[in-house]
Structure 1
Amino acid sequence: MNEQNRTNAELSSKTANTRFSDRTLADRVYESVLSKIVNGEIAVGSKLPTEHQLCDELRVSRPILRQALKQLKADDVIVSRQGSGSYVKRRPDGAVLDFAPVGSIADIQRTFEFRSAIEGEAAAIAAQRRTSEDLKAIDAAIAELDHCIRTGQLGVDADEVLHDAICKAADNHYFVAARNSMKANILTGMSLTRNLSLTKTQARLELVQGEHYDIVAAIRAKDSDAANKAMRAHIDNARRRVFDGD
């Protein structure tokens, strides 16, 4: 490697490391502000402290704080009012902090974004390529989830088996590889959402399972567009349900 290429590589590495560091710091700020809202320190309808105050308290720069606030807005937890500041729109269920590993919430939300894109396309292709054997595997997985709901089990493993079976039905190993690369993150997100569902009513569990049935029905009918929409809606809803208020 010549000197110029080495210099460019070093600059690229430093830039990447800086971005990663900034993102990690923004995630910590995001979870700090989220904790204040979940714990009731900042009530629903209340205005957040000013950016200057939050930067001083959390010891971060304004760009880092704004990254964190942008994510909270995307998660529909806070809302900005022009010329007035940011306000708490809803208070997520306190159980979120009980079930989510420390420092993982921002990452879980990003995993849902990844899954919505990847699994939506996988479901669409699966609708065209699924075989009778694929449908048997999918039906067995959803039947196991039904059993988990009837018996009050968490059902994370069964949930993962269902989504994996749908991905495999697309008959493209890159979809499976993409999911496998995020398997630990995916299971963490599933564990969180299913634990939260167990704290809700039976109707909530049935609502989630109904979304699974919508996906399967579209795949069975070979309706790619419906399968894509149903999968993306299911995963996007799961992301939103993380922050369902009490």
Structure 2
Amino acid sequence: MKPPTVSAANISAVPVTHGKLADKLYENMLSWITFGDLKEGDRLPSEERLAKQFGVSRPVVRQALLRLRSDEIIISRHGSGSYILRRPKKEFFDFAPMGGVADLVRCFEYRIALEGEAAWLAARRRTNIDLKRIGDALHDMDNAVASRTIATSSDIDFHAAIAAATKNELFVSTMASLSTLIFSGMTVARKLSLQMNLARLELVQKEHLAIYKAIETQDQVAARELMRKHIDNARNRVLTDSVEPDPDTKS
């Protein structure tokens, strides 16, 4: 469901009254930037004005702005204020869990560190059985691309197989504890990709294949960097169109 449109004039109509204040404000501001009247390059209201209109303290506003800067949605210019750097796709709010956007994005950020190291260890310790399990999930995702289906379960199987290949149960249990957030993030990313052309889906799959090959050849450094980049790209794809296939590529 599309959230209410928010503009600089009626921003106070979306008060932050419950939950984690900074997370709630982050989600409201992300919605405002997406559906409101602001354009890329426009300046945000001052911290003082945002605090007054949302009914929160300035430290809460600063935390929300910090999240938006970390996600490269806004950029701050010394002595000038914060400006819109890029806007999320409106379809993001059709698929993202309302009230859980901050946790969803935060999970991507955590996975960059966690799964980067998992891929490094998997490349070092994987067995042929591990490689087959990873390859089977990759094959299932290939079929999903061909049929243009979501296949979130196959994507999860791919990452879970890599965690298992580390031979460290803590990676497996940590991935399991994050399973709800990971599933949600992958589903949002895949639904958004399905709305793009076939080249977008193929680009994502090429990233998976590159990770598989690095683990297969036991190139630990490449496995880590490719995994980190893949998850960071997924985060960017969820929030913006910044990571796209070559525009000359036709579907």
> Do both proteins adopt the same fold according to a TM-score greater than 0.5, normalized to the shorter chain?
yes
Superposed counterparts of 1:68-217, under 5 Å: 68-217=64-213
Which amino acid letter does the alignment assign opposite residue 127 of structure 2?
A: T
SS at match of 2:149: coil
1:233 aligns with 2:247: no
Q: What's 1:59 paired with?
A: 55
1:38–1:93 CA contact under 8 A, matched in 2 = yes
Percent identity between the aligned chains?
A: 46
Which amino acid letter does the alignment assign opposite residue 141 of structure 1?
A: A
Q: How many aligned residue pairs are there? A: 226
Q: What's 1:45 paired with?
A: 41
Which amino acid letter does the alignment assign opposite residue 47 of structure 1?
A: R
The alpha-carbon deviation at position 40 of structure 1 amounts to 3.0
The alpha-carbon deviation at position 43 of structure 1 amounts to 1.9
Higher helix content, 1 or 2: 1
How high is the TM-score relative to the length of structure 2? 0.87
How far apart, CA to CA, are the structure 1 residues paired with 2:26 and 2:148? 33
SS at match of 1:232: helix
How high is the TM-score relative to the length of structure 1? 0.89
Q: What's 1:33 paired with?
A: 29
Closer, same or farther: CA 171–31 of 1 in aligned 2, 3 Å: same
Q: What's 1:11 paired with?
A: none
How far apart, CA to CA, are the structure 2 residues paired with 1:179 and 1:167? 8
The alpha-carbon deviation at position 189 of structure 1 amounts to 0.5
How far apart, CA to CA, are the structure 1 residues paired with 2:37 and 2:60? 22
Q: What's 1:219 paired with?
A: 215
- CA offsets per residue over residues 186-232 of structure 1, 9 Å max, x none? 10110111111111111111111111011101000011111011111
4+ runs deviating over 4 angstroms = none
Closer, same or farther: CA 22–222 of 1 in aligned 2, 3 Å: farther
1:113–1:236 CA contact under 8 A, matched in 2 = yes
SS at match of 2:20: helix
The alpha-carbon deviation at position 100 of structure 1 amounts to 0.2
1:145–1:159 CA contact under 8 A, matched in 2 = yes
Q: What's 2:249 paired with?
A: none
1:112–1:236 CA contact under 8 A, matched in 2 = yes
Structure 2, unmatched stretches of 5+, are 1-16, 243-251
* Bigger CA radius of gyration: 1
1:22–1:64 CA contact under 8 A, matched in 2 = no
How far apart, CA to CA, are the structure 2 residues paired with 1:110 and 1:96? 15
Structure 1, unmatched stretches of 5+, are 1-20
Closer, same or farther: CA 241–222 of 1 in aligned 2, 3 Å: same
- CA offsets per residue over residues 133-164 of structure 1, 9 Å max, x none? 11111111000000011101101001001110
1:124–1:225 CA contact under 8 A, matched in 2 = yes
Which amino acid letter does the alignment assign opposite residue 54 of structure 2?
A: L
How far apart, CA to CA, are the structure 1 residues paired with 2:47 and 2:221? 43
SS at match of 1:41: coil
1:244 aligns with 2:240: yes
